[in-house]
Amino acid sequence: MKVPFFLILIAILFGAMEIDAQNYYWVAFHDKDNSPYSLLFPEEFLSSKALQRRRNQNIAIDSLDLPVNPNYVQQTLALGATLKHSSKWLNGITVKASADSFVEEALLLPFVKEVQLTKRSTQMKSAFNKFAEPECSGSDLDIDTAVYGESVHQVAQLNGQFLHNNGFRGEEMYIAVFDAGFYKADQYPAFDSLWINRQIAGIKDFVAPKENFFDGHYHGMSVLSIMGGNIAGKIQGTAPKATYWLVRSEDPGSEFLIEEDNWVAAAEFADSVGVDIINSSLGYFTFDDPAMDHTYDDMDGKTTRVAKAANIAVAKGMLVFASAGNEGRENNPWKYIISPSDGDSVIAVGAVNKDGIPAPFTSRGPASDGDVKPNVSAMGWNTIVQRSSGTIGTGNGTSYSSPVIAGAAACLWQANLLATASQVKNAIERSANLYLTPDTLSGYGIPDLKIADKILKTAIFEDRDTSETWLVYPNPASDYIVLQKQKITLNKKVQIAFYSLDGKLLKKEEKNDAARIMLKDLYSLPRGLLILQIISDDETETLKIAISP
């Protein structure tokens, strides 16, 4: 029997594809021995912004900050692989390599700890739309105010307007938005102010860097609108004056473990560019390849790579907010939170409506190790967002509740610049309405940022060193500060100097000694954290002071 030529051609082509098929692998290393880098010279491998955040929060430089040993990378790539990502935090690399020989050869290298398949090149992409919004009953809101428009409820539910009204709208705070795409975020009017005021710090694509960044999926664009959107009378984001990094770490067309590797790379990038807050309206539990699936036992906050990286990001001084997931309906076999929201240090965000009722789809806690999850909740049921159609409308999902709080947290942190990431997280949780009786749907409940602000200011005041001669207040300050003596001392003169964190002298004054000294007209100083030095006859005191807008 003669076989048609076109069938022979198809067979040849598919055979060639199998021979040339290349998969993606995670390659973990045992150590960072014999690295050319040293902790004594962190400026060789950490950016100035990353170093500044560590100084601000008294975070030590450690081995996690050291890059992956370049010799290990070179020897691994010499096996015929190409580099996709490198992770210093998890000490490994993601590579693209031939399916047959690479794994065996890589495992023979003495420094290789593990090789794991993260994406199979020949596997069909999933037809499942992982960004489909959960259906939920409810009507559009009908309140229209001059500033917030219909988004007033998602802001007011957290008492976010308290911070806005006091001048804290996210200025000088940097937020990284990890998502699947930012369709027309460069065109829609909701984002005009971000572009005009240069509040878009940059874009970064860890999936397909050569594609047009603003032609992709809409999901990240809608998420961004909840924090940074601004159309008077229609939508006002929870952090309209923050600065944003738009980061694509998610491939909306498929679901493989490599997307966790993308997330890890994105988090390390966020660290390097000085980001304060990460919002991740993404999560992982099942994949197109069932062999990669996570189990509920994996949701213990320290098993998945993405949870490990999220915890490290917090340890490096960032806040990480993550969607709890939309798997909570009774008929869903999973029901639980998804990673990285399970991370021990991550703020997992559940969804409620404007009345505080948990959405029927919101994923449930606790984490498999018993930790309270979600940590808190915000409006993710009929949230006001910029839609892909170009209109302002409503959307459902913990993808939308997470940025509500992430943006508000930027304003809270701006109002309390001396606070550490862990202090801000603690204050947000303690301010929530269910803090004493957390449950599996809303966690600690809905935060009240006015209460959180008071908690932070009290914590910062109590942390002061009472053995010092001078008490300085207010801190943060705007146009004046007061230096009040806590000890009885006699000095002829007191010299007062302000320095930037890198040691540059910004302002210097000399005052007669007194029990109480006021310094006015601080408007000439740059906004943000500064070093205040007080020199008297017998001692020198140095402390940090925050200058707010």
3-state secondary structure 114-164: EEEEEECCCCCCCCCCCCCCCCCCCCCCCCCCCCCHHHHHHHHCCCHHHHH
Give one DSSP letter per residue of 480-497, joined into a string. Answer: -EEEEESS----SEEEEE
- Phi, psi (rounded to 5 degrees) for 484: -120, 130
CA nearest neighbour of 199 among 173, 179, 221: 173
> How far is residue 319's CA from residue 328's CA, in Å, rounded to a whole number?
25
Query: What is the residue whose two structure tokens read 């029901």?
Result: 335
Alpha carbons 7 and 275: distance in angstroms, whole number: 54
Reported in sequence order, the residue ranges of 432-539 that DSSP labels E, i.e. its strands, are 470-473, 481-485, 493-499, 505-512, 516-519, 528-535
Provide the CA 240 distance to its chain's centre, in angstroms: 17
d(CA 263, CA 250): 8
Beta strands 392-395 and 470-473 are: unpaired
Alpha-helical runs (H) found in 352-499? 398-414, 421-430, 449-462
Say if CB 296 and CB 341 are below 8 A apart.
Answer: no
Using the structure block, give the residue that is written with the tokens 């929060």.
Answer: 57
For residues 502 and 61, what is the distance between their CA atoms, to the nearest angstrom?
A: 17
**Which amino acid appears at position 533 of this protein?**
Q
Token pair recorded at residue 347: 């703020």
List the catalytic residues.
179, 219, 399
